[in-house]
């Protein structure tokens, strides 16, 4: 019905519910049907139906949006437009799992074209940027790879003045752990500058000064200047 252009949300939802009940599981059905969705319009319509029947967010993301994302060679427009419309139905799952999964992949198009993340997050309350940041930090604790730094910069920029003490503690701990490995990295220094502007310096100034002393050259003075500029 979708691929033929016979689009009726209510009727499609009823059919999908009936088929789900008959099979006692929707996963096999999605594996069968999703490959038939070869255009962005049809993929979005199918995702709309899954939302309509209140399918689990992990099913929608893992069985529809992840396969869709993998087909995007360079252009994420259709994927982003669809997700930005439907993410309001599963914001918690999207920010704690789905988006983190995409952002943790070094070769992900979402990492390469980070502006798309801003478009996806636009419909959500600001608190979800904090949730996304906290979940992403968990994946950076053992080693902060270079490709993760621009992601962190974007996340922190969108959390300015919204972070609480617990958020600040996690950020400062991450900075402390990564400082030696990135002591001459200007990108890391820029990240630290955004951290300085986002956390409560009355509580973390001494720790951030200590971190700045681990840096070298221009990176060190960039962070020290930021600390002096914030009173």
Domain segments of the chain as ranges:
6-93, 125-231
pLDDT at 231 over 80: no
What integer pLDDT is reported at residue 26 of this predicted model? 87
Contact at 8 Å (CB) between 166 and 130? no
Q: How far apart are CA 195 and CA 152, in angstroms?
A: 10
Phi and psi dihedrals of 4, rounded to 5? -85, -5
Contact at 8 Å (CB) between 132 and 117? no
Q: How far apart are CA 228 and CA 231, in angstroms?
A: 7
Mean pLDDT of 164-181: 94
What integer pLDDT is reported at residue 3 of this predicted model? 80
What integer pLDDT is reported at residue 58 of this predicted model? 96
pLDDT at 43 over 90: yes
């Amino acid at each position: 019905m979708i691929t033929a252009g016979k689009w009726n949300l209510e009727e499609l939802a009823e059919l999908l519910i009936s088929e789900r009940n008959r099979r006692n599981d929707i996963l096999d059905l999605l594996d069968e049907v999703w490959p038939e969705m070869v255009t962005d319009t049809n993929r979005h319509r199918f995702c709309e139906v899954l939302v309509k029947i209140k399918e689990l967010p992990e099913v929608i993301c893992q069985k529809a949006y992840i396969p869709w994302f993998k087909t995007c060679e360079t252009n994420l427009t259709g994927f982003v437009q669809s997700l930005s419309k439907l993410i309001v139905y599963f914001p918690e799952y999207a920010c704690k799992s789905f988006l983190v999964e995409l952002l943790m992949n070094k070769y992900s198009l979402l990492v390469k074209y980070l502006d798309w993340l801003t478009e996806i997050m636009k419909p959500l309350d600001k608190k979800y940027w904090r949730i996304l940041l906290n979940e992403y930090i968990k994946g950076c604790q053992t080693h902060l790879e270079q490709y993760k730094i621009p992601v962190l910069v974007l996340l922190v920029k969108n959390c300015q003045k919204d972070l609480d003490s617990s958020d600040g503690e996690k950020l400062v701990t991450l900075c402390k752990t990564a400082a030696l490995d990135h002591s001459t990295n200007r990108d890391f220094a820029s990240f630290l500058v955004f951290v300085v502007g986002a956390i409560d310096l009355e509580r973390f100034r001494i720790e951030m000064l200590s971190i700045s002393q681990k840096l070298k050259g221009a990176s060190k003075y960039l962070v020290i200047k930021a600390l002096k500029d914030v009173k």
